[in-house]
Chains A and B, each alone.
Chain A
Amino acid sequence: MSANSNAGKVYKIVVACGTAIATSTHVSIKVKEFLEERGLQAHTIQCRVTEVPNLALDADLVISTAQVPFDLDIPVVDGIPFLTGIGIKEVIDRIEEILRSR
């Protein structure tokens, strides 16, 4: 698939944490900001870790601030760097790479 055919696509990202409220809101806001800067549009769905398997079925990517103890068909990215600010560029690069290859 060429990069062009992805133009205008809105990616679906599942953002998980322990509560579906606190840290996942933080990550959702930040990831949308960063992706927008790179010309990617994303729709985020927040959930608790236990809800990930159901929601991951039709998503492009899972970002989680807590451990995800399930086997999934889509990539799982660690969300902690969004909270600490350490290693955040690497994570965004990785997310961009995953999304552009889908």
Chain B
Amino acid sequence: METVKAIGDFLTGLGAPVMLPIVIFILGVILGQKVSRAFISAITVGVGFIGLGLVITLLFQALGPATDALVKATGIQLTSLDVGWGVAAAIAFGTTVGALVIPLAFGLNIIMLLFKWTKTLNVDMWNFWHYAFTGSLVYLVSGNNLLLGLIAATIHAAVALLIADWTAKDVQEFFKIPGVSIPQGWAITSVPIIKILNWIMEKIPGLRDIHWDSESLEKRLGIFGQPIVMGAILGLLFGLIAYGFDTRVLTLAVQMAAVMLLIPRIIAIFMEGLTPLSEAARAFMQKRFSDREFYIGLDSAILIGHPITIAAGIILIPVTLFLAAILPGNTTLPAADLAATAFFVAMVPPLTRGNLFRSILYGTIIMIVVLYISSSFAPLMTEIAKSIGYAIPEGAVQITGLSGGNWIAWVLTNITKLFFGG
């Protein structure tokens, strides 16, 4: 235990932009990457981290005061600003659990493959942030118990592999992509919800027979599908409500557009660093398990192009804003993740044989769950962000992320609070 704590303290002391590259370098070399290649990858990830830090500061400075003003102007208690998956991931990878999550989840995956407990080889290392997020929350609520944090991240990663196996056939047949499964940390948490809703729906005469497969909506989407336009419009909307007719509204619109464009661009740098490692991991495993059937676990991003997913994702933007305003007890102000609403229903079409009606209905129910969970995570996420050095403006505003709203993290955090909370 003492050693674990000592290692944890040392890594935390180094800070994310240093410790994550070190871990990635070591793992790359172990997996047989050339030292020069592993070094470039590692530094690239560090650079991505520093870039994210810069944009996150811009985001907080722009949106923090606006959220404050919005709350004061309207009296609605939406004090937890949704900072989006890019920021949530940066925070999750930025903790000690986050630094260790890549070798941890990969090691777990190898063990589970060896014992034939899973068929999925998860090469989607970027999305390990979801496991890190769960682990980081548990680490915090257990009073900085690194071992519990790592166990929580491991549980999330293991459940992800099992659910990926469970849905693999449906995903492969529906999207016609053989040999692939989806262990993405948030997507897998939607699967039991969808299965339960399917079971209920089949019991309701009338409702169970509704099947929409409209493909017309996304073609009318036009420029609104562009994150930069969505950012500007959201900025205008928030600004008008928060400040009334004031030049700050226009500033906010451009700042919000900047955030929507810049965060993804910088995450791409991060990805550039991670890609060779995930390639090395895949090659390493394919060489050793060549005689076995296994699925390559990929990002749910590969499912987002389906017309029904796109259509349901668009409809969910106003639905989510409306829900946030009317749900009693919700404190989450949906913002940055509104550009990613399609992710919240990515698993619905393959599990409902492409039913748009159910995608919208289930999506609405899923968003209610997500809003409540992300509201309950806001104080924790804000504290973690502060602890790893992000300057969050003082005031009533907290940060959260819709993409962090997964029930596995919620259940594990609450169990930890019950037994280990100080």
Contacts and interface: CB of A to CB of B under 8 A. Distances in A.
Determine the interface band of chain B, counting residues with CB < 8 A from chain A: 35 or more
Interface string A1-45: 000000000000000111111110110011000000000000000
Interface residues of A, number: 29
B268 A18 contact: no
Interface in A65-81: 65-70, 80
B268 A25 contact: yes
A67 to B, nearest CB: 4
A17 B301 contact: yes
Contacts, number: 105
Nearest to A66: B305
Per DSSP, are chain B's interface residues mostly helix, strand or loop, or mixed?
helix
Contacts of A26: 271, 275, 278
A98 interface: no
Nearest to A46: B268
Contact of B305 (A21, A49, A83): A49
B303 interface: yes
B349 to A, nearest CB: 10
A33 to B, nearest CB: 10
B264 A21 contact: yes
B342 interface: yes
B302 interface: yes
B272 A29 contact: yes
Contact of A66 (B123, B124, B275, B302): B302
Contact of B301 (A19, A29, A51): A19
A18 B302 contact: yes
Contacts of B283: 85
Contacts of B221: 50
B169 interface: no
A23 B177 CA distance: 15
Given A21-B271, A22-B126, A29-B272, A66 B303 contact: yes
Nearest to A29: B275
B63 interface: no
B225 interface: yes
Interface of B: 123-124, 126-127, 175, 177-180, 215, 218-219, 221, 225-227, 264, 267-268, 271-272, 275-276, 278-279, 282-283, 286, 296, 298-307, 310, 340, 342-343, 346
> Which 4 pairs between the two chains have the least Cβ-Cβ distance?
A18-B304, A66-B305, A18-B301, A50-B225
